[in-house]
Amino acid sequence: MKYYITTPIYYPSGKWHIGHCYTTIICDAIARFHRMKGEDVFFTTGTDEHGQKVEKEAAKRGVTPLAFITPLVDEIKEMWSLLDVSYDRFIRTTDPAHAECVQKIYQKLYDSGDIYKSEYEGYYCVPCESMWTEAQLVNGKCPDCGRAVERRKEESYFFRLSKYAPKILKHYGDNPEFLQPKSRVNEMVNNFLKEGLQDLSVSRTNVKWGVPLPFDERHTAYVWVDALINYLSVLGYLSADDSLFKKYWSANLHLMGKEIVRFHAIIWPAILMALGLPLPERNYGHGWLLIGGEKLSKSKETGSEELTDPYELVKRYGADAVRYFLLREIPFGSDGEYTNERFLLRVNADLANDFGNLVSRTEAMILQNFGCVPQRGKEEAVDKELIALANGTFAKVESAMEKLNAPDALSAIFALVSRANKYIDETTPWALAKDPAKKDRLGAVLYNLAEVVRMTAILLKPFLTKAPALVLKSLSQDENAGFEALQFGGLKGGEKVEKLEPLFPRIDVKKEMQAVAEFVRANRKKSEPKKTEKKQETMKKELITIDEFDKVEIRVGEVVACEKVAKSEKLLHETVRIGGEVRSVVSGIGKFYTPEEMVGKKVVVVTNLKPAKLCGVLSEGMILCAEDGEGNLSLVSPEKLMESGGSVR
- Contacting residues for 479 by C-beta, under 8 A, at least 6 apart: 468, 469, 472, 473
User: What is the smallest separation between the CB atom of 32 and ligand ME8, expressed in angstroms?
Assistant: 19
For residue 562, the 8-state DSSP code is: E
User: What is the smallest separation between the CB atom of 327 and ligand ME8, expressed in angstroms?
Assistant: 13
Report the candidate in 185, 263, 227 with the shortest Cα–Cα distance to residue 54.
227
Report the candidate in 445, 395, 442 with the shortest Cα–Cα distance to residue 415.
395
Q: Is 320 left (phi over 0), alpha (psi -120 to 50) or beta?
A: alpha
User: What is the smallest separation between the CB atom of 260 and ligand ME8, expressed in angstroms?
Assistant: 5
**Where does residue 410 rank: exposed (0-12), middle (13-18), buried (19+ CB within 10 A)?**
buried
User: What is the smallest separation between the CB atom of 256 and ligand ME8, expressed in angstroms?
Assistant: 4
Task: Select 261 or 472, whichever has its Cβ closest to ligand ME8.
Answer: 261
Task: Select 264 or 454, whichever has its Cβ closest to ligand ME8.
Answer: 264
Task: Select 200 or 228, whichever has its Cβ closest to ligand ME8.
Answer: 228
> How far, in Å, CA of 90 to CA of 24, rounded?
12
Residue 601, CB half-sphere, CA atoms under 13 Å: how many?
20
> How far, in Å, CA of 57 to CA of 408, rounded?
42
User: What is the smallest separation between the CB atom of 100 and ligand ME8, expressed in angstroms?
Assistant: 18
Task: Select 39 or 305, whichever has its Cβ closest to ligand ME8.
Answer: 305
> How far, in Å, CA of 289 to CA of 8, rounded?
17
Report the candidate in 172, 171, 134 with the shortest Cα–Cα distance to residue 150.
134
Task: Select 230 or 362, whichever has its Cβ closest to ligand ME8.
Answer: 230
Residue nearest to ligand ME8 (CB): 257
Task: Select 104 or 438, whichever has its Cβ closest to ligand ME8.
Answer: 104
User: What is the smallest separation between the CB atom of 105 and ligand ME8, expressed in angstroms?
Assistant: 14
Task: Select 154 or 337, whichever has its Cβ closest to ligand ME8.
Answer: 337
Task: Select 257 or 646, whichever has its Cβ closest to ligand ME8.
Answer: 257
β-pairing verdict for 2-10 and 130-132: unpaired
Task: Select 295 or 535, whichever has its Cβ closest to ligand ME8.
Answer: 295
> How far, in Å, CA of 21 to CA of 597, rounded?
60
User: What is the smallest separation between the CB atom of 291 and ligand ME8, expressed in angstroms?
Assistant: 8
User: What is the smallest separation between the CB atom of 214 and ligand ME8, expressed in angstroms?
Assistant: 21
Q: Do the beta carbons of residue 561 and residue 599 sit within 8 Å?
A: yes
User: What is the smallest separation between the CB atom of 28 and ligand ME8, expressed in angstroms?
Assistant: 13
Report the candidate in 288, 327, 506 with the shortest Cα–Cα distance to residue 411.
327
The Cα-based distances of 259 to 150, 287, 605 in angstroms read 20, 9, 53
Contacts with ligand ME8 by CB under 6 A lie at: 8-11, 19-20, 22-23, 48, 227-228, 256-257, 259-260, 288-289, 295-297
